[in-house]
Amino acid sequence: MRDLLFHRFDNAAQSSQLNGYVEDEMVDDVASVVREVTLLLNTRSPLSASDCAALPRRTVLEYGLADFLHLSPVSMDDAKQLARFIREAIVAYEPRLQVDSVVIDTPRPCRDAVYAVISGQVCKRDLSIVPVHFPVQVAVAARSIE
């Protein structure tokens, strides 16, 4: 369990300095956002989607995407609902990304994964805004944090 919760902190501590530069200064902001969104969407929250939606503000205890196994892989309505779950998770946990749209591929080409295309804008450290449009593969049965 420690590995799941502290993996990123351990990596940051081990490689925080390289040739006199702080690692954060070397990491591309957009690549960092894409990586964090992928990790977020492939982690399941211990709460249901309705419980997550009822919270005034989500914390690290509810981190992840709500379980969506009950949604049909061919239903357009369920695809819209999943897109809403994804948007809500990103808004809660990735403040650098302002989501404009989330599009779910339907019907799913693979029953073990969902493909989402996320469009929006990333606010970089220098406060410049960069438009983004990237696909994310979301595992249907992702790991959960307990």
Which two structure tokens, joined as six digits, stand for 26?
Answer: 């070397």
Q: How many CB atoms lie within 10 A of CB 1?
A: 7
| pLDDT above 70 as % of the chain | 76
Residue at 102: amino acid letter: V
Distances, alpha carbon 64 to alpha carbons 17, 124, 131, in Å: 29, 23, 24
- Contact by Cβ (8 Å): 1, 146: yes
- Ramachandran angles phi, psi of 94, nearest 5°: -130, 80
Q: How much is the average pLDDT of 18-38?
A: 70
Q: How much is the average pLDDT of 5-10?
A: 49
Select from 62, 33, 30, 20 the least CA-distant residue to 146. 62
CATH number of the domain located at residue range(s) 22-144 in this protein = 3.10.450.40
CA distance 80 to 50: 15
Tens digits of residue pLDDT in 70-112: 888 788 899 999 999 999 999 999 999 999 999 998 766 677 8
